[in-house]
Amino acid sequence: MSETIQRDARAVFLPAFDTLDFHNIMVPFIDAGGCSVLIGESRSEYVARGMSGDRLARENKQAVTAAIDGLHRGQAGLIVAVDQELGGIRRLEGLAPPLPTLHEAKRLPADEIEGSCFETARAAKELGVTMFLAPIADVVVGQNPWLEGRTLGTDRREVGRIVSAFVRGIQRAGITAVTKHFPGFIDLAGDPALVDVSMMSGLDKILENATPFREAIRAGTMAVMAGPAPVAALDQENAACTSAKVIELLRGEFGFTGLVISDDLDAPATMRGQSLVDTAVTALSAGVDLLLVAGGPHLPELCDGIVDAVQTGRLPAERLIEAANRVRHTASSSSQ
């Protein structure tokens, strides 16, 4: 039983790396039960909403494919995620056909958006990528420095049209879509990755602008990412991705039955003074299945914290098993 819990504890983490130099950490992690990795970008690339000239010069298709192949090691299923956003960050810049620009998407019919996204996803699949942390479905009607330059507009119906076409296109190519950041951060005073900030908008306004999430779920999105800051109208204490009330809304009123992923757990607005282990336990207890964390040598200690939480009764074993199995199912499905 202890070995099973150890493997389950590793299955529920999505470690992120900003380079392809992750094998020393990820190979033993996968051998011990892990089944997910995020090939991410640097903080400066994230802020710039684009890959650096140095990365574009260094990384080619062969290097990315070789890095991903080095992780499989007979693994039946492996989630290999990237940020490939239609309006914002595009980790596969220079490696796959570009997605439509936001200007193009607004004037293209839905079937052409879907077709373009399919071509990008098909090329990503050939590299070994299996998941896009996209589309962004937030409709910002106020301010939001965190999502500036990444959202798809302020018309919730138009955003829903684009989001659903994106989901259909990439999933037709075998890439899992992760629609984010539930329930939609329509107005946020600061960047939750830098400061502890909450969304103070009224629930009626939030739900009114959550149309794109409903459209994405209707289109079959296999995963949804919950956001990194508290939604005060639902839960003043916990970030969306650590809040049982937010996940209940997603599972209940929105009828989503797939994989729920957290945003970065180490964001100040997510941790809110807790340790990373306690934040992870809170997220799992709330109903999140896959936990996004920075990759590094701290991963075994983090997993041990989950095991301890189960053994001491702070985290029900059934909840960990449910989450781990849902992640493995997604990993297995995406490898086909």
Tell me, what's the pLDDT at 3? 83
Tell me, what's the pLDDT at 2? 78
The burial class, CB within 10 Å (0-12 / 13-18 / 19+), for 111 is exposed
Q: Distance between CA 68 and CA 71 in Å, rounded?
A: 5
Q: Parse the chain into domains and list their residue ranges.
A: 2-334
Answer for the pair 48, 91: CB distance below 8 angstroms, yes or no.
no
Answer for the pair 228, 195: CB distance below 8 angstroms, yes or no.
no
Q: Is the pLDDT reported for residue 142 higher than 80?
A: yes
Q: Is the pLDDT reported for residue 333 higher than 90?
A: no
Average pLDDT over residues 213-218: 98
User: Whose CA is closest to 246, among 308, 295, 180, 298?
Assistant: 180
Query: Structure tokens of 18?
Result: 């900003």
Q: Is the pLDDT reported for residue 201 higher than 60?
A: yes
Tell me, what's the pLDDT at 336? 63
Tell me, what's the pLDDT at 151? 96
Q: Is the pLDDT reported for residue 87 higher than 90?
A: no
Q: Is the pLDDT reported for residue 271 higher than 70?
A: yes
Q: Is the pLDDT reported for residue 127 higher than 90?
A: yes
Q: Distance between CA 45 and CA 39 in Å, rounded?
A: 13
pLDDT tens digits along 30-74: 999 999 999 999 999 999 999 999 999 999 999 999 999 999 865
- Rounded to 10 deg, the angle between the 61-72 and 23-31 helix axes is 30
- Fill in the amino acid letter for 171: Q
Sign (positive/negative) of CA torsion 306, 307, 312, 313? Answer: positive
Answer for the pair 307, 33: CB distance below 8 angstroms, yes or no.
no
Tell me, what's the pLDDT at 1? 56
Q: Distance between CA 279 and CA 314 in Å, rounded?
A: 12
What dotted CATH number matches 2-334? Answer: 3.20.20.300
Average pLDDT over residues 239-251: 98
**Helix/strand/coil (H/E/C) assignment for every residue in 199-248:** ECCCHHHHHHCCHHHHHHHHHCCCEEEECCCEECCCCCCCEHHHCHHHHH
pLDDT tens digits along 283-307: 999 999 999 999 999 999 999 999 9
Answer for the pair 43, 298: CB distance below 8 angstroms, yes or no.
no
Tell me, what's the pLDDT at 76? 65
Beta bridge partners of 230: 239
What count of other Cβ atoms lies within 10 Å of the Cβ of residue 301? 10
Query: Structure tokens of 257?
Result: 């039955």
User: Percent of the chain having pLDDT more than 70?
Assistant: 98
Q: Distance between CA 88 and CA 84 in Å, rounded?
A: 8
pLDDT tens digits along 180-196: 999 999 999 999 999 99
Q: Is the pLDDT reported for residue 148 higher than 60?
A: yes
Tell me, what's the pLDDT at 334? 72
pLDDT tens digits along 272-286: 999 999 999 999 999
